[in-house]
Structure 1
């Protein structure tokens, strides 16, 4: 089994360094014949490519490809097309893995292949704010994911990606490009195998008020890309995923008091929580108005694109 680990990155040099060094520290047996790490730089301006060149001796499995800023869908496609391996592993550039990460994916895939080759493995992703020691974070209930195909930590035979048509590069804004590909993979009959032993620690800085404008922008982008997702796959399942239902309008509308609870009115309370060492709780509360922005963006995009939103 020859793994090609494909990692798109954009201005994440500090955590990317930890990500790549962890991938150089893999322990495995005979199943993993060889592996490579393909870093696709999506137009970074923080010196990522220069850092990779300078530290090439520390990263013997890593090779890099550069593209102008086109988004993660195009970056992942470029990595898959250039890959030498028969099996692709997708992770994000802010994910730090354990030393048995590759072996765990290999073991799970090999077990699945006893019945059919139409399988892929999905590892665990644990969120952490601990930059110095990200792998020390315990699993939390908020780390649970019911996603079918998410590129934060997934391994799949390269030929299935090619058969499905790779990622749709029209998803240039934030969100949904991986789950949309997942819908196409599901139609090909691929089966998801959970692989909890393949653990990746997703680092992000502790929540602060300075992050809110960027988070709002991402929710608006995610809403717009969600409508593209629905255009391609007009189903009730997709409507639920992108929050394009009356239920979501009512839920987040009520919880946000029709938008009255927002980044301005909530600032004092959120800062109070942060000051008391509870940034994660502050983030979960902020998700109320963030989701309201997302739902409004979905319906705004529907109106602009004249998407039929009536449930069959």
Structure 2
């Protein structure tokens, strides 16, 4: 157990799959950490390559001198849950930080997490806590940290692996990530349910800032986004199988409320990627890709809800 007044050693666990250009920025930002805080003993970066085909590990080997904190691991393509588990199992630190490989952090990122953990221990009188930093979405590849915080960046998630720090032994007690979540979505929030059952308290840490980069929205992305929503629906049903509660149903949008809401907003699916394409294209041409992406959420959420109920209908005969 990490007690007040004792130092922490951070292991930053990062799964990656074919993200080399933004991964390079992510790793460089982690090498620039200010960790003069006496609470930080040191840190390492445990990068788990989930079977990338873009030369990630070869590039890292060729540039190893630039990244003294990085240790790299390789696994066959099994998804982020298995990759994070491998990272935790091989980590040396007593405190695990999870970020994604498309996140660029500020120089006081680790220091802010260390201070948040110490404040949490003082507040709750134990280390039954984890810190949750701020994630700001940006499509500015050249200078991602220039993006201001926006209302759309707000997250009400209890535990999400985009930017968290947690004592390692609580992850191990909870059982790490469920590797059955091999498609897109929910593996981190499902672990969060188990951490909440162990009584862990969330400590918000807004000074631990990460900038989540993704390319500006365009019409070519839509088929992949639709596929992700369908995958997220399928994984949502697995989430519900494990935790059959109303709270989880609300999270995965498996309620009559969501079915009615997105059914009305999408006119029963008539407002879709084909019928809304002219509007989306116009917004993009007007320099408003973020607004276009929000409009696209109308049919993306409809696909998600449809995916949830289709998978649930398939699940019932299997369970019976």
**Do Structure 1 and Structure 2 share a fold, with TM-score over 0.5?**
yes
Aligned to 2:90: 82
1:207 corresponds to which of 217, 223, 233: 217
Deviation at 1:31, TM superposition (A): 1.3
Aligned to 1:255: 265
1:273 corresponds to which of 276, 280, 283: 283
1:298 corresponds to which of 304, 308, 312: 308
1:188 corresponds to which of 190, 198, 201: 198
Cα-Cα RMSD: 0.9
Partner Cα separation in structure 1 for residue 285 and residue 248 of structure 2: 39
Q: Number of paired residues?
A: 308
Partner Cα separation in structure 2 for residue 49 and residue 262 of structure 1: 40
Native 8 Å contact 1:89 1:153 kept in 2: yes
Aligned to 1:153: 163
Partner Cα separation in structure 1 for residue 241 and residue 272 of structure 2: 30
Residues 20, 306 of structure 1: CA spacing in aligned structure 2 closer, same or farther, 3 A cutoff?
same
Deviation per residue, 1:72-130 (Å, 9 max, x gap): 00000000000000000000000000000000000010111122110000000000010
Please state whether the residue corresponding to 2:192 is helix, strand or coil.
helix
Alignment of 1:39-78 (within 5 A): 39-78=47-86
Deviation at 1:307, TM superposition (A): 7.6
Please state whether the residue corresponding to 1:57 is helix, strand or coil.
helix
Aligned to 2:298: 288
Alignment of 1:98-137 (within 5 A): 98-114=106-122, 115-137=125-147
Aligned to 1:18: 25
Partner Cα separation in structure 2 for residue 120 and residue 21 of structure 1: 25
Please state whether the residue corresponding to 2:115 is helix, strand or coil.
helix
Please state whether the residue corresponding to 1:287 is helix, strand or coil.
helix
| 2:236 pairs with 1:229 | no
What TM-score, normalized by structure 2, do the two folds share? 0.95
Native 8 Å contact 1:231 1:307 kept in 2: no
What TM-score, normalized by structure 1, do the two folds share? 0.98
Please state whether the residue corresponding to 1:155 is helix, strand or coil.
strand
Structure 1 segments (4+ residues) deviating >2 Å:
none
| 2:46 pairs with 1:31 | no
1:142 corresponds to which of 142, 152, 158: 152
Aligned to 1:92: 100
Gapped runs of 5+ residues in structure 2? 1-7
Deviation at 1:148, TM superposition (A): 0.3
Aligned to 2:185: 175
Please state whether the residue corresponding to 1:306 is helix, strand or coil.
helix
